[in-house]
Structure 1
């Protein structure tokens, strides 16, 4: 990790707790006790039980995971990780199409083919049954639904989106949100403001959305529908939207997050996409990207989990203590996360 993270200095304990609270570390396996236990003890409030890169690309869980991971195993591992404490967000990717981290562990969500022929109430009920079972496992947040309207080439979202028709994305996505939140799962509508086409995967390439502003805003109507359906959280995208901000990735852009807050009237939790994606970092360090995201208005920062997590949290608290990040912005973000975690 960069040298800035190794220069640990004493920091205010409240700032340090706040800094732990604003990170959502992602893990692709269960051998994580040594990182997660101290993270939660120091104020962490969220973890993402994720999938491997191979599973992400395949859009399905591996045969090995399906064979070894039962519902009882999943629930027991979460209990061990959290020590039975409440107030911790346990997030997973559970998309209508594409990535379903709970594949084989909970009742299936409707397929897209099914959803397009189902009434809204039927979709909502199927999503409720899925989420109710997930809640019994200890899961509290779905990083879904995907509300992007994809009409062109987009290797990042290929096989993961609901429809090329904004009205269908709005209808089906809103029913998903109502269903899972009725079961006690926080929905995270993603990836604001929507990426109708991208030339490459932002997780591996510094790529930007060049769609004209009028089309961006037209496609973003799906997020208005998600907000009307009372989504508790919105994830902002990982690549620059040039029509709004030519320099910064959406999830670290004051202009894009300001559009979500002011233009779309969203008052809930704002989640970043992967902070360590090339299209998000754009040459910045992970620390500077995290500080930029918080300063822009993001509340919960998605980051790869690992041994670097402790020093990253310390560095963010140190930055707030030195005034490089307004401490009140860090506190505001942490309080939003804790409020969602406490539900």
Structure 2
């Protein structure tokens, strides 16, 4: 089946919302070719690393399931993503059995840990969720306000073991694991969601700390998310999510064949003074398949701009079509 650039432009976007009341915005997006949605958290919940008391009191498994079901009346094969991190943010807090604590995870054997992750994922799948933006594979061995309270350790081998068990567990329940944030951000001087900041870790240290990504790929992770800031050892100008060198490393050096997901393209360290449209075009042009963006009324104009770029040649039409096909394959369970 052939798709138009307008449909492909919508297929590659993963719009994020911090509420379940999104039908008015999402329905036209889905009707024109959208495939995905991120049901996320507020900035305050993100910073706190937990859901608010108000949300916990208001949301129930039934209300969450009903909101997803409404969206799926438009697009039955919709990718429904959430942040469900081992040791970090759990968007489904109070709605599904919790993932083990970090201390519990390190104490459990591989099979037992995978089973705990599978149980959480199975309950999420019953709510209509199909993708976890997790596990976090970054090895944090320096200061990093962005990832503090979200990572799984400071030793590559220990993190790799947890990453592998998580991927095996959640994907056995039908949930796509999105291992993040390639190539790994061990230390940052600021939060890339707030300021323009770069990673200055030498290449040999990057590769040393990248063991968890190798473990995730070996475990069959269906998706990998690139990071939101430039990695100076690979590309000083472009954030990982817009850098061809990072995508090439992931594809060629690490041998990853699955879905590449960008981090939030709205981040200052990713945009680096460009518009959101320019950043999106750069990201998909560099090799990303599914682009994480804030949801809202601007989606239509953003999609039109991406489609126009493909028609004019600023974005290779075949690259856009390839990205959209990979997203649709994931949505179909492939």
Give me the TM-score of the superposition, normalised by structure 1: 0.96
Structure 2: segments with no counterpart, 5+ residues: none
What does residue 323 of structure 1 align with?
313
What does residue 90 of structure 1 align with?
80
What does residue 116 of structure 2 align with?
126
Aligned pair partner of 1:67 in 51, 57, 73? 57
- C-alpha distance in 2, partners of 1:84/1:279? 35
Displacement of 1:31 in angstroms is 2.4
| C-alpha distance after superposition, 1:60-105 (max 9, x if no partner) | 0000000010000100011112216422100000000121000010
Matched-pair contact (CA < 8 Å) for 1:241–1:250: yes
Aligned pair partner of 1:200 in 179, 190, 198? 190
Q: Is 1:223 equivalent to 2:207 in the alignment?
A: no
Matched-pair contact (CA < 8 Å) for 1:86–1:342: no
Matched-pair contact (CA < 8 Å) for 2:39–2:81: yes
- C-alpha distance in 2, partners of 1:220/1:242? 16
Q: Is 1:173 equivalent to 2:158 in the alignment?
A: no
| C-alpha distance after superposition, 1:97-129 (max 9, x if no partner) | 121000010011111000111100000000000
Structure 1: segments with no counterpart, 5+ residues: 1-11
Q: Is 1:148 equivalent to 2:138 in the alignment?
A: yes
SS in structure 1 at match of 2:178 = strand
Q: Is 1:30 equivalent to 2:20 in the alignment?
A: yes
Give me the TM-score of the superposition, normalised by structure 2: 0.98
Displacement of 1:33 in angstroms is 1.3
SS in structure 2 at match of 1:24 = strand
Aligned pair partner of 2:66 in 76, 94, 103? 76
Aligned residues: 332
Displacement of 1:222 in angstroms is 1.3
What does residue 5 of structure 1 align with?
none
- C-alpha distance in 2, partners of 1:276/1:340? 24
| C-alpha distance after superposition, 1:117-168 (max 9, x if no partner) | 1100000000000000000000000000000000010000000000101001
